[in-house]
């Protein structure tokens, strides 16, 4: 009996579209990142424009790299490999193109709204609520297309790469939906549904696992497909792949709290994050070793083949980053590294090394095959490799040194017990040469990417694009045929729906155990009676602070270290943040912490500092904000903001929104009056007034002193 063979074609057009988007947005994202790096050395490159300050383009850079560069490359690799692994065309060409154009429109919306200051301020999730809804819809289209393709496959066995693609779709969907709960105020403004400690926990549960399931798991899936293809060797160990997958997706989801060590997060949650972060070393290195050992017998080709060169460094960078991450979660290491440039180095070893080099290798491998030709220039590809490698070195090493220098300077005391570098600006100026080296590394990396772009264009021009690649395969057998090997995992690989459900269960457990107690048990966030809601003027000032991206450089979290309490004041308590929607603890100190700023400087000082930072603090790299003195507070939004906050549980009295602007104007008049006393004339409704009000509020509530009765004959204590 002759075996039936079905003829079909693979859709290369959708892969080509995502590849072009990858290259274009990659160059744009890297250029924006280089600009941001230069701004931290030469503030003049903020251009004194409202839309190009570091606070606004830093999130533009991260979103462009994560979602536009890495995201488009992920979709290109998934669409290319999935069709061939499942021996079928994608489920729906229409869904493929809805996915493509929808994703590009989301990126365009991000590129417009972020420089305009429309941001939630939540790291890697800055996009406002209409775009969040669009992301959800387009992600569903992607998942529908992927699951449909798996169901109509001609290959019963689901190869390991498919497992990682399923985990990516399921987990990113859960992360995005949970973290994006917010209440709209206007079309471009919302408040996070969560507050303070809970918001921080949800955000870093999302932030850490966005790295895990958007930047890692899909690329591990592509590693399992493209590395064996490029090396012409089978994966080293199928059983190690099984252990790698299930242990990784179960453990990873628990590790988010390690971003919040020494903060106001409950200690038990911090400890859980540490334990599971250390456990992550095992599955992460299992995957790295599985990749590198796949090259057994092919190492001689690594010298000559640029694709393998990029892949080897990518997998090695993955191993380095996934060892360093757990080590950074140890409290004694975190005490040194957190809030410093060390974290920037760590992130970019993964971003530039793991994601960037894996993308480059895939582009170099796919392009000649889809255009039925050879790579235009191996020499140019090798040049790109060495420029990229030098770029990573010149980027990462100065940032590691900078991080250590920052931490040591922040913590240094003289023999008399006083801080040696009490002025934070001294620590900023000390690392400027290292930031200049970082920018040099970024320029080298970008130059390599430009060379790659030229090489790929010349390769495509030399060949003929295969839009629909002919293929043939036997139809999927209806009857299940038992196979040997692989323990009992083969059963799961033949049942995609059950596999998907088990994946969902595995990733839900950790998040539920960490978050539910924090939300339901009040003792996790003890209240402080002196902490009151923000006044309407302060609320406007806080929103302007968020709009300008100040959280990208300033933290609002004093950790319980003597060096920090000496510099800033009393360490932060969880009850301080119960009205903060969203939380603004920050993750990097380019400038000093602001949690205890109240009363440290006069209103006049803040006015002059925001108008001309370098004139007030010589050597400051903070940009000026002249538009704050020209633009007016949007008082017409006050009622909506108050109403939204009350919905979120902030105890504004019923009907307060009707008289909130009266209180706003009274407080604004008082601040403008103090400025006038110092000879500064400013409109009472200028945005600078609201910002000053917010800055002067920071830390004020816990400074309220309660009088204690003095016993007879007892000497009062100072």
Annotated binding-site residue numbers for heme b: 61, 346, 348
Q: Which of 414, 305, 299 is nearest to 360 (CA)?
A: 305
Q: For 552, list phi and psi in degrees, rounded to 5.
A: -70, -20
Residues 6+ apart with CB under 8 A from 675: 603, 604, 607, 681, 682
Helix ranges (DSSP H) in 463-495:
489-493
Q: Per the annotation, where are the binding residues for Cu cation? A: 208, 258-259
User: What is residue 472's DSSP assignment?
Assistant: E
Please report which helix (H) or strand (E) contains residue 185, including its range.
strand 182-186
Residues 6+ apart with CB under 8 A from 660: 536, 638, 639, 642, 652
DSSP annotation string for 608-630: HHHH-HHHHSTT--PPP-GGGGT
Query: What CA–CA distance (Å, rounded) separates 323 from 321?
Result: 5
By 3-state DSSP, what share of the chain in percent is helix, strand and coil, each rounded to 5?
Answer: 65, 5, 30
Residues 6+ apart with CB under 8 A from 551: 121, 545, 584, 586
Please report which helix (H) or strand (E) contains residue 186, including its range.
strand 182-186
List of long-range contacts for 608-614, beta carbons under 8 Å, 24+ apart: 610/688, 610/691, 611/688, 613/43, 614/43
CA distances from 194 to 201, 512, 533 (A): 10, 15, 15
Q: For 680, list phi and psi in degrees, rounded to 5.
A: -110, 120
Q: Dump strand ranges (E) for 296-377.
A: none
* DSSP-based three-state secondary structure for 641: helix
Q: Which of 471, 470, 461 is nearest to 374 (CA)?
A: 461
Q: For 699, list phi and psi in degrees, rounded to 5.
A: 85, 0
> Which class for 80: exposed (0-12), middle (13-18), buried (19 or more C-beta within 10 A)?
buried
CA 39, chain centre distance (Å):
20
* DSSP-based three-state secondary structure for 20: helix
C-alpha distance across the termini of the chain, in Å: 99
Q: How many CA atoms lie within 13 A of 432 on its CB side?
A: 13
Name the one residue in this structure whose structure tokens are 């079928």: 88
Query: What CA–CA distance (Å, rounded) separates 429 from 431?
Result: 6
Residues 6+ apart with CB under 8 A from 593: 554, 555, 556, 557, 558, 564, 567, 568
Q: Which of 463, 458, 459 is nearest to 372 (CA)?
A: 463
Q: Per the annotation, where are the binding residues? A: 61, 208, 258-259, 346, 348
Please report which helix (H) or strand (E) contains residue 697, including its range.
helix 687-697
Query: What CA–CA distance (Å, rounded) separates 171 from 213?
Result: 7
CA distances from 307 to 329, 364, 520 (A): 33, 6, 51
Length reported for the chain:
718
User: What is residue 482's DSSP assignment?
Assistant: -
Q: For 190, list phi and psi in degrees, rounded to 5.
A: -145, 165
């Amino acid at each position: 009996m002759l075996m039936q063979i079905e003829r079909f074609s693979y859709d290369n057009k959708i892969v080509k579209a995502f590849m072009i988007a990858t290259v274009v947005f990659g160059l744009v994202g890297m250029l924006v990142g280089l600009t941001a790096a230069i701004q931290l050395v030469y503030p003049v490159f903020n251009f004194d424009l409202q839309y190009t300050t570091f606070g606004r383009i830093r999130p533009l850079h991260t979103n462009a790299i994560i979602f536009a560069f890495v995201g488009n490359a992920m979709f290109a690799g998934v669409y290319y490999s999935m069709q061939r692994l499942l021996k079928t065309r994608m489920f729906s060409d229409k869904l493929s193109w809805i996915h493509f154009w929808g994703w590009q429109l989301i990126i365009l919306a991000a590129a417009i709204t972020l420089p305009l200051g429309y941001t939630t301020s939540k790291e890697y999730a800055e996009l406002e609520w209409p775009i969040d809804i669009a992301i959800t819809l387009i992600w569903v289209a992607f998942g529908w297309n992927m699951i449909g393709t798996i169901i109509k496959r001609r290959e019963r066995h689901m190869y390991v790469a498919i497992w990682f693609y399923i985990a990516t779709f399921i987990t990113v969907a859960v992360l995005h939906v949970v973290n994006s709960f917010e209440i709209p105020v206007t079309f471009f403004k919302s408040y996070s549904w969560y507050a303070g400690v809970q918001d921080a926990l949800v955000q870093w549960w999302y932030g850490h696992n966005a790295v895990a399931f958007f930047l890692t798991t899909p690329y591990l899936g592509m590693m399992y497909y493209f590395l064996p293809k490029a090396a012409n060797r089978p994966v080293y160990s199928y059983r190690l792949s099984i252990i790698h997958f299930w242990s990784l997706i179960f453990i990873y989801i628990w590790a988010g709290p390690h971003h919040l060590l020494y903060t106001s997060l409950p200690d038990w949650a911090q400890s859980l994050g540490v334990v599971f972060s250390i456990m992550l070393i095992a599955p992460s290195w299992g995957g790295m070793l599985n990749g590198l050992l796949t090259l057994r017998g092919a190492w001689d080709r690594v010298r000559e083949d640029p694709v393998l060169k990029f892949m080897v460094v990518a997998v090695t960078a993955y191993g380095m980053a996934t060892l360093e991450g757990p080590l950074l979660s140890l409290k004694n290491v975190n005490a040194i590294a957190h809030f410093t440039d060390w974290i920037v180095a760590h992130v970019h070893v993964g971003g530039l090394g793991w994601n960037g080099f894996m993308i480059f290798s895939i582009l170099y491998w796919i392009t000649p095959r889809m255009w039925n030709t050879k790579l235009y220039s191996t020499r140019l590809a090798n040049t790109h490799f060495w420029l990229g490698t030098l770029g990573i070195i010149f980027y990462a090493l100065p940032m590691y040194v900078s991080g250590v220098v920052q931490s040591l300077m922040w913590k240094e005391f003289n023999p008399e017990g006083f801080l040696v570098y009490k002025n934070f600006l001294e620590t900023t100026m000390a690392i400027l040469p290292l930031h200049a080296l970082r920018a040099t590394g970024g320029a080298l990396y970008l130059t390599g990417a430009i060379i790659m772009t030229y090489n790929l264009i010349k390769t495509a021009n030399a060949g003929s694009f295969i839009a629909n690649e002919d293929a043939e395969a036997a139809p999927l057998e209806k009857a299940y045929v038992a196979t040997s090997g692989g323990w009992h995992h083969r059963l799961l690989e033949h049942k995609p729906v059950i596999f998907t459900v088990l994946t969902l269960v595995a990733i839900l457990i950790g998040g539920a155990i960490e978050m539910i107690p924090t939300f339901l048990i009040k003792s996790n966030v003890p209240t402080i009676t002196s902490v009151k809601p923000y006044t309407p003027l302060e609320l406007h000032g806080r929103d302007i602070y968020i709009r300008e991206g100040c959280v990208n450089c300033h933290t609002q979290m004093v950790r319980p270290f003597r060096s920090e309490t000496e510099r800033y004041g009393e360490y932060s308590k969880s009850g301080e943040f119960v009205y903060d929607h969203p939380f603004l603890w920050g993750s990097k100190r380019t400038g000093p912490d602001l949690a205890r700023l109240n009363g440290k400087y006069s209103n006049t000082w803040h006015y002059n500092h925001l108008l001309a930072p370098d004139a007030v603090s010589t050597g400051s790299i903070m940009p000026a904000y002249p538009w704050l003195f020209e633009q007016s507070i949007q008082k017409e939004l006050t009622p909506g903001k108050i109403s939204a906050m009350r919905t979120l549980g902030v105890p504004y009295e019923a009907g307060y929104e009707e008289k909130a602007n009266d209180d706003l104007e009274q407080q604004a008049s008082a601040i403008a009056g103090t400025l006038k006393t110092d000879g500064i004339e400013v409109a009472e409704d200028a945005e600078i007034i609201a910002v000053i009000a917010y800055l002067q509020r920071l830390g004020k509530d816990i400074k309220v002193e309660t009088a204690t009765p003095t016993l007879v004959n007892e000497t009062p204590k100072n």
